[in-house]
C-alpha cells in the first residue's frame, strides 16, 4: 500500500524543512509559551530536537523521494513510537515553569454596583516565576481576601479597615503575608486589641473603593480607614477619558467600572453597571471552562500549547480553548457595562498612560485629579460621619523605585523628555490633594527607594510588579509606625 508517492515526498519534504527553519525560540516566544523561561535547557533541547528532526526528515524526502510502503505492523510501530514521543514531550514540558501571575479573572464575578467582586469561598494557587514562588490565595465567605469577621465590633477592639486594589488584595503573596495581616500582627504584638479588615480588590479605582466603604465597610464601624492609593493607575481608573485611551486594558477597562460623571460638579451621578448582561456572559465563559475539552487542555501541557498556538496563529480557531484564553474571554464578558457619558473626548494615549508622571502636568491629568479629589472628599466625609478617620498611604510601583527599571520605563514610554519619574510629580499632586481635604497621608515612596537602592533589598515580584513578602512587610511596618507616632492607634473603651 503506497502511502506516499514520489511527488508527494518532495512536497512534504519541502514543508518539513520550512517548518524546521521557522520553528525557533522566537516563534515560541510570541505564540506558544510567551510566559516561559526561554533560557531553560529543557526548552532549548526540545526546540533543537524538533528542528533537527523536521529538517533531517524533510531533506531525506527531498533527496531520495522514496515511495514508502507501510504494513499494518509498520503503522503500529509508528503509532507506538509517536505516543511514546508525545509522552516524553509532555513530561519535559511539565518541567518548564510557566507564569500565572495575577488573580484569576474567573474568580471576579459581576456586581450591580461595584462592577465586580471576588468569588466567595474560593482557593487557588497563583504560580509565580520559577525564581519566586507559588502562593495559595483564599477568599472568605463574603468574597474578600481575608478571614471572616463579625459585623458588630467586639468590645475594646480597635478596628482598621483597608481599601485598595490588587496591592491590597495581595494575590502575589500568601494569606499570612498580606499587608492587612501584617498590620494586625504588628499592632497586636504591641499589646493593642486591633482587628484589621481587608476589602481590597484587584483592579478597583477610588470610586469603587468609596462604594465598597459606603455599602460594606461602614457596617464594621472602623476607627481608621486606610486607603491604599496607587498613583500609577488610580487616577486613570477614576477618569473615563483616560480609561478610554487604554491606560490599562482599553475598552475593557472602560466597560468594567462605574464612573463619576465629571460634568456634574454639584450633583453626584455614577454610571450604572449592566449587571444582567455581564452575568449572562460571565456564566457562559465559566461553563466553557468547565467543559471536558477545556479540562483536558488544562491538564495537558502539549494540548495547552497546541491550543494556544492555533489560537494565536489562526485567530478565530475555536475548536479548543485553553484555560488562559477562556480567562481572557471571561474578562471580556465580565467587564462589559453601560456608560453614562457617551460623548467621551479621547485624549492622547501617551498622556493617558504616562501623564501622571509628566514634569508639567497636562490639562487632562489635572481634570482627572479633580474627579479623584471629589471622590476622596466624599469618602472622607462618610468615614468621618461613621465615626472613623480616613488615612491615605501611597503605593510605590516597581518602576518608581528601582532606578534601572525606571530608566527602562522612561525609554519605553517614547516621551522621555516629558517624564519625571524620579521627582514623582504624581505623588506630590496626591499629597496636595489630601492636604487640601485635611486627610492624613503616609508616604511610602522614600522608604521603598531607600530600602531598594541603599540596602539592596528587593521589594517586588518581578513577574507581575506587585509587592513581594518583603514589600508587604515594609509597608505594614512603615504604616504602623506612622500611626503610632501620630497618636492614631488608640484603644477603644
251-288 confidence digits (pLDDT tens)? 444 667 899 986 656 678 898 887 887 788 778 777 76
**What is the rounded average pLDDT of the residues 87-113?**
66
Strand partners, 109: 117
**Cβ–Cβ under 8 Å, residues 237 and 114:** no
Of the given ranges (16-25, 69-78, 321-330), which has the lowest mean pLDDT? 321-330
- pLDDT tens readout for residues 352-407: 788 999 999 999 899 999 999 999 999 999 999 999 999 999 999 999 999 999 99
**What is the rounded average pLDDT of the residues 447-451?**
98
**What is the rounded average pLDDT of the residues 160-170?**
96
The SS3 assignment for 418 reads helix
Total length of the chain: 493
**CA torsion through residues 314, 318, 324, 329, sign:** positive
**Cβ–Cβ under 8 Å, residues 227 and 213:** no
Of the given ranges (145-149, 235-239, 340-344, 434-438), which has the lowest mean pLDDT? 340-344
For residue 203, what is its C-alpha cell?
483592579
Q: What b/e string do you get for 81-90 counting C-beta neighbours within 10 Å, with b at 16 or more? A: eeeeeeeebe
According to the model, what pLDDT value does residue 15 have?
A: 75
Which has more confidence, 126 or 16? 126
**Cβ–Cβ under 8 Å, residues 369 and 433:** yes
CATH superfamily of 114-272+343-485: SGNH hydrolase (3.40.50.1110)
**Cβ–Cβ under 8 Å, residues 83 and 20:** no
- pLDDT tens readout for residues 465-480: 999 999 999 999 999 9
According to the model, what pLDDT value does residue 318 have?
A: 35
CA angle, 138 then 192 then 468, to 5°:
35
**What is the rounded average pLDDT of the residues 429-439?**
98
Q: Packing angle between helix 425-436 and helix 363-385, nearest 10 degrees? A: 40
341 pLDDT band (50/70/90 cuts)? Answer: very low
Please tell me the distance from the alpha carbon of residue 430 to that of residue 436, in angstroms, as a whole number.
10
Helix (H) or strand (E) holding 488: none
Domain ranges in the chain are: 2-94, 114-272+343-485, 276-334
**What is the rounded average pLDDT of the residues 36-48?**
54
For residue 468, what is its C-alpha cell?
513581594
Tell whether the model's pLDDT for residue 72 goes beyond 70: no
47, HSE (Cβ side, Cα atoms, 13 Å): 19
Q: Is 486 exposed, middle or buried (0-12, 13-18, 19+ CB in 10 A)?
A: exposed
According to the model, what pLDDT value does residue 187 have?
A: 94
Which has more confidence, 309 or 488? 488
Please tell me the distance from the alpha carbon of residue 197 to that of residue 144, in angstroms, as a whole number.
9
Tracing cell 488544562 back to the chain, one arrives at: 298
Tell whether the model's pLDDT for residue 43 goes beyond 70: no
Is this structure's pTM higher than 0.85?
no
- Residue 346 neighbours by CB distance under 10 Å: 11
**What is the rounded average pLDDT of the residues 448-456?**
97
94 pLDDT band (50/70/90 cuts)? Answer: low
**Residue 215: partners with Cβ closer than 8 Å, 6 or more residues away:** 113, 114
Please tell me the distance from the alpha carbon of residue 344 to that of residue 94, in angstroms, as a whole number.
47
According to the model, what pLDDT value does residue 337 have?
A: 34
Pairing of strands 158-163, 194-198: parallel
Percent of the chain's residues with pLDDT above 90: 46
- pLDDT tens readout for residues 228-258: 999 999 998 888 877 766 544 444 446 678 9
39 pLDDT band (50/70/90 cuts)? Answer: very low
**Cβ–Cβ under 8 Å, residues 410 and 357:** no
* Phi-psi map region of 227: left, alpha, beta (phi>0 left; psi -120 to 50 alpha): beta
Tracing cell 492609593 back to the chain, one arrives at: 229
Average pLDDT over the chain, rounded to whole?
A: 78
For residue 219, what is its C-alpha cell?
457596617
According to the model, what pLDDT value does residue 126 have?
A: 85
Tell whether the model's pLDDT for residue 207 goes beyond 60: yes
Please tell me the distance from the alpha carbon of residue 373 to that of residue 68, in angstroms, as a whole number.
77
- Nearest CA-CA partner of 208 in 117, 312, 102, 109: 117
Pairing of strands 108-111, 68-69: unpaired
Tell whether the model's pLDDT for residue 52 goes beyond 90: no
Tell whether the model's pLDDT for residue 116 goes beyond 70: yes
According to the model, what pLDDT value does residue 309 have?
A: 53
**What is the rounded average pLDDT of the residues 169-174?**
93
According to the model, what pLDDT value does residue 130 have?
A: 58
Tell whether the model's pLDDT for residue 334 goes beyond 50: no
195 pLDDT band (50/70/90 cuts)? Answer: very high
Please tell me the distance from the alpha carbon of residue 399 to that of residue 185, in angstroms, as a whole number.
29
Tell whether the model's pLDDT for residue 193 goes beyond 50: yes
According to the model, what pLDDT value does residue 332 have?
A: 40
**CA torsion through residues 453, 454, 459, 461, sign:** positive
Amino acid at each position: 500500500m503506497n502511502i506516499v508517492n514520489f511527488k508527494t515526498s518532495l512536497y512534504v519534504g519541502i514543508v518539513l524543512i520550512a517548518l524546521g527553519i521557522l520553528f525557533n525560540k522566537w516563534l515560541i516566544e510570541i505564540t506558544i509559551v510567551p510566559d516561559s523561561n526561554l533560557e531553560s535547557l529543557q526548552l532549548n533541547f526540545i526546540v533543537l530536537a524538533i528542528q533537527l528532526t523536521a529538517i533531517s526528515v524533510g531533506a531525506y524526502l527531498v533527496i531520495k523521494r522514496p515511495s514508502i510502503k507501510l504494513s499494518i505492523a509498520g503503522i503500529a510501530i509508528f503509532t507506538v513510537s509517536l505516543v511514546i514521543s508525545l509522552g516524553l514531550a509532555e513530561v519535559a514540558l511539565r518541567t518548564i515553569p510557566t507564569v500565572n501571575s495575577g488573580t484569576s479573572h474567573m474568580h471576579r464575578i459581576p456586581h450591580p454596583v461595584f462592577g465586580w467582586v471576588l468569588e466567595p469561598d474560593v482557593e487557588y494557587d497563583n504560580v509565580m516565576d520559577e525564581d519566586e514562588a507559588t502562593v495559595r490565595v483564599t477568599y472568605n465567605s463574603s468574597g474578600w481576601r481575608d478571614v471572616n469577621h463579625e459585623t458588630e465590633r467586639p468590645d475594646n477592639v480597635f478596628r482598621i479597615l483597608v481599601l485598595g486594589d490588587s496591592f491590597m488584595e495581595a494575590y502575589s503573596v500568601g494569606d499570612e503575608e498580606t499587608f492587612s495581616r501584617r498590620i494586625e500582627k504588628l499592632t497586636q504584638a504591641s499589646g493593642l486589641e486591633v482587628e484589621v479588615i481587608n476589602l481590597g480588590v484587584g483592579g478597583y479605582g477610588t470610586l469603587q473603593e468609596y462604594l465598597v466603604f459606603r455599602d460594606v465597610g461602614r457596617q464594621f464601624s472602623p476607627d481608621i480607614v486606610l486607603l491604599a492609593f496607587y498613583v500609577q493607575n488610580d487616577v486613570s481608573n477614576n477618569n473615563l477619558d483616560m480609561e478610554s485611551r487604554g491606560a490599562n486594558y482599553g475598552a475593557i477597562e472602560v466597560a468594567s467600572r462605574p464612573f463619576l460623571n465629571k460634568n456634574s460638579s454639584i450633583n453626584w451621578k455614577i454610571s450604572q453597571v449592566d449587571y444582567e448582561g455581564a452575568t449572562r456572559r460571565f456564566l457562559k465563559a465559566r461553563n466553557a471552562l468547565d467543559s471536558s475539552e477545556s479540562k483536558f487542555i488544562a491538564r495537558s501541557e502539549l494540548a495547552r500549547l497546541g491550543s494556544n498556538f492555533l489560537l494565536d496563529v489562526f485567530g478565530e480557531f475555536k475548536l479548543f480553548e485553553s484555560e488562559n484564553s477562556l480567562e481572557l474571554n471571561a474578562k471580556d464578558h465580565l467587564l462589559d457595562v453601560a456608560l453614562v457619558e457617551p460623548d467621551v473626548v479621547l485624549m492622547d494615549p501617551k498622556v493617558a498612560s504616562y501623564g501622571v508622571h509628566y514634569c508639567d502636568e497636562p490639562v487632562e491629568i489635572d481634570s482627572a485629579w479633580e474627579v479623584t479629589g471629589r471622590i476622596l472628599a466624599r469618602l472622607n466625609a462618610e468615614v468621618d460621619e461613621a465615626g472613623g478617620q480616613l488615612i491615605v498611604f501611597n503605593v510605590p510601583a516597581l518602576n518608581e523605585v528601582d532606578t534601572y527599571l525606571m530608566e527602562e520605563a522612561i525609554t519605553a514610554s517614547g516621551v522621555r523628555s516629558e517624564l519625571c519619574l524620579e521627582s514623582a510629580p504624581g505623588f506630590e499632586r496626591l499629597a496636595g490633594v489630601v492636604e487640601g481635604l485635611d486627610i492624613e497621608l503616609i508616604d511610602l515612596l522614600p522608604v521603598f527607594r531607600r530600602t531598594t537602592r541603599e540596602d539592596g533589598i528587593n521589594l517586588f515580584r518581578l513577574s507581575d510588579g506587585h509587592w513581594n513578602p518583603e514589600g508587604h512587610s515594609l509597608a505594614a511596618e512603615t504604616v504602623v509606625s506612622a500611626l503610632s507616632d501620630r497618636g492614631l492607634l488608640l484603644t477603644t473603651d
